[in-house]
Amino acid sequence: MCSLAHAQEGFRVDYIHFQGNEAFSGDRLREQMTLKGFNWFQETVLQKSSSQYHSDMLINDFGRIRRFYQRRGYLHIQLSRGDFAINTDDQSVGVMINVREGPPITVDTVIWLIRAPSTPDSVRVDSLLDRISPLPQLHWGMRFRDQVMTADADSTERYFADEGYPYASVSSELSVDTTANTVDVVWTIESGPRCVFGEITITGHSRISEELVYNQIEFRSGDLFRQSVLNQSQRQLIDLGVFEVATVTGILDRDHTAEVPVRITLQEAPRLSSKVGVGYGQEDNFRVFTESRLLGFLGGARRLELYAKHSGLEPYHVRLRHTQPAFLTPRTSASISPFIRRQDEPGYTLRRHGIILGIDHQLTSRLTVGSEYSFERVSLDTTSVAEAGPLDPGFDDLYDKSSVAFTSTYDNSRPTFNPDHGNFVALSSKWSGIGFGSQYHFVRTTLDWRHYEGLVGLVVATRIKIGGIQSFDDDRFVPVEDRYYSGGSSSLRGWERGEIGPQQEGTPAGGKSLIESSIELRYPIWGILSGAIFTDLGNVWPASYFYDLSDLRYSAGAGIRVSTPIGPIRLDLARPIFDDDVGYELHINVGQAF
């Protein structure tokens, strides 16, 4: 068989199949190989090229697959070449690989040893072992994996660095019993001395004062060394928005000095900057925006931003924002934003102008809370809204709104523009009718949860959005711009924007209760091109906090994504399910639907 295969050197690889593999799929094993075999569709449509068969390449690939298995606890892995399917007409060969995985190596015992200097702090170092024990992932009974062991070493060193031991190092010894298929793991921790922060040096600043920089860092000379404090201080300097580069680094030396100097390296952003963006979306058509930013406005890290946008949905939106970073605390920012805006939505047209006072506080790197007060005057074009019906007792074409809103956002999804793992959760509550002649009194609360899960090269994205509005006026009226609407490129994609929910004379009227949910499978195709299949469901109801799960609308579809630095260009084609009178909808936009 080997001689026969050797005679086919240079033939195109038609396919590579595995048999006997159970722990890992054939796709996962093929990823380890340099030999590649693709079918007609992959070669013709996706422009992928199959390899030319060479026996030495297959031998090298066997080595790669063995190492792949061994790093994951399968030390007894055996590979052999199976039957070859040789086609002399088109000079192609199909390769079969036999796999005998054998039993995996499991962890029997895990022992921790610690070596610390003879100082009064040694007792404290020993006590850390009790707190380390829950952290490592490698434990009795689990399959041994190199990557888990490496992760345990890294997490232990980080733990010690955050307890005042930046010089701590972790090493390991393995004792493998190939008869019992077990391994004993012995960890040794060299703690080094317990350290404090030493001299702090700041470089690279000219407009920004040292006092402002010091106010943003969470430590002083003489404080116990903690790596997490350095990381948090660096994030707070970046969050000021006035530095292009900000690094906070502890300077370690070979002598393991107990005082660790800290170097803060800064590079200030340009004082004046501007950017312009253009785009196109199926709903808002051509859109263009410009944003200019002035740093150091009125001194310090204050900034002034002017934003202007035009699109089919917003003929004009102009906002001037003055932001004060590090307001009261290093993690808090305050802003004041006068604005003027026009909206042309499917259900209404209006003009609004006013002012927003906001304050945001970053509780952690992933959790932010905020509140804002807004006062605005709204001018409604009543000809854009259907005549009043049972849902709407009447319209005023000019009214004032005074509102307070509270928000909290948790976001650990990554990467930013096209997440493939993590969660995003946003909870908001708006209380309208807070003095100053505000005409309408209501509370609007919305919860938006999104989850992203990687799955063998694919991404499963899910979203659930629930909202409700409670009016406290006698007529239970809620302004049209504050109601819920559903349908469109980022909602239920089988319908046009705002098409789902209560309507009056064919015009979207909005409602007081909302449910939306979507699930989307995203998969790579070739290079920057990827695809998605999805299904959406939801509805809008006129009553407050009323959700009829038997009255949900459904749609399904598929789409193409083209990756760009600012997020994917998205084209989705969707059609309602169980609604035969509605056809297909095509949506073109930038960014994922959620």
pLDDT in tens, 457-513: 789 999 999 999 999 988 889 999 999 999 999 999 999 999 999 988 888 999 999
Q: For residue 15, what pLDDT is reported?
A: 87
Number of structural domains found in the chain = 4
Domain identity same for 31 and 172:
no
| Sign of the torsion angle spanned by Cα atoms 236, 239, 242, 245 | positive
Amino acid at 490: S
Q: Is residue 60 part of a domain?
A: yes
User: What's the pTM?
Assistant: 0.75
Q: Which strand (E) or helix (H) includes residue 171?
A: strand 169-177
Instruction: Report, as ranges of residue numbers, the positions in the chain whose pLDDT lies below 70.
Output: 1-8, 39-47, 118-126, 129-135, 386-396, 582
What residues are paired with 525 via a beta bridge? none
Count of H-run helices and E-run strands, the chain = 8, 27
Residue 302 belongs to a domain: no
pLDDT attached to residue 216? 92
Residue at 234 is within a domain: yes
Do 25 and 83 reside in the same domain of the chain?
yes
For residue 263, how many C-alpha atoms fall within 13 Å in the half-sphere facing its CB?
6
Residue 179 lies in a domain: yes
Residue 514: its pLDDT value, please?
A: 97
Give domain status of residue 215, yes or no.
Answer: yes
Structure confidence at residue 474 (pLDDT): 86
Residues 6+ apart with CB under 8 A from 390: none
- Write the pLDDT tens digit of every residue in 28-84: 899 999 988 876 666 666 567 778 888 889 999 999 999 999 999 999 999 998 888
Same domain, 415 and 489: yes
Residue 309 lies in a domain: no
**485 and 460 part of one domain:** yes
Judge if 467 and 569 occupy the same domain. Answer: yes
Domain housing 159: 106-190
Assigned domain for 319 exists? no
pLDDT at 387: 47
pLDDT of residue 1: 41
Q: What is the pLDDT of residue 214?
A: 92
If asked whether residues 418 and 536 sit together in one domain, one would say: yes
The confidence score (pLDDT) of residue 3 equals: 47
CB contact set of 67 (below 8 Å; sequence gap of 6+): none
DSSP single-letter state for residue 475? T
Same-domain status, 515 and 371: yes
Helix axes 122-132, 146-161, angle to 10 degrees: 140
299 found inside a domain: no
Provide the token pair at 295.
């740093």
Same domain, 352 and 441: yes
CATH number at residue 205: 3.10.20.310
Do 561 and 427 share a structural domain?
yes
Q: Are residues 425 and 353 in the same domain?
A: yes
Distant-in-sequence, close-in-space partners of 439: CB < 8 Å, separation ≥ 6:
396, 399, 400, 401, 433
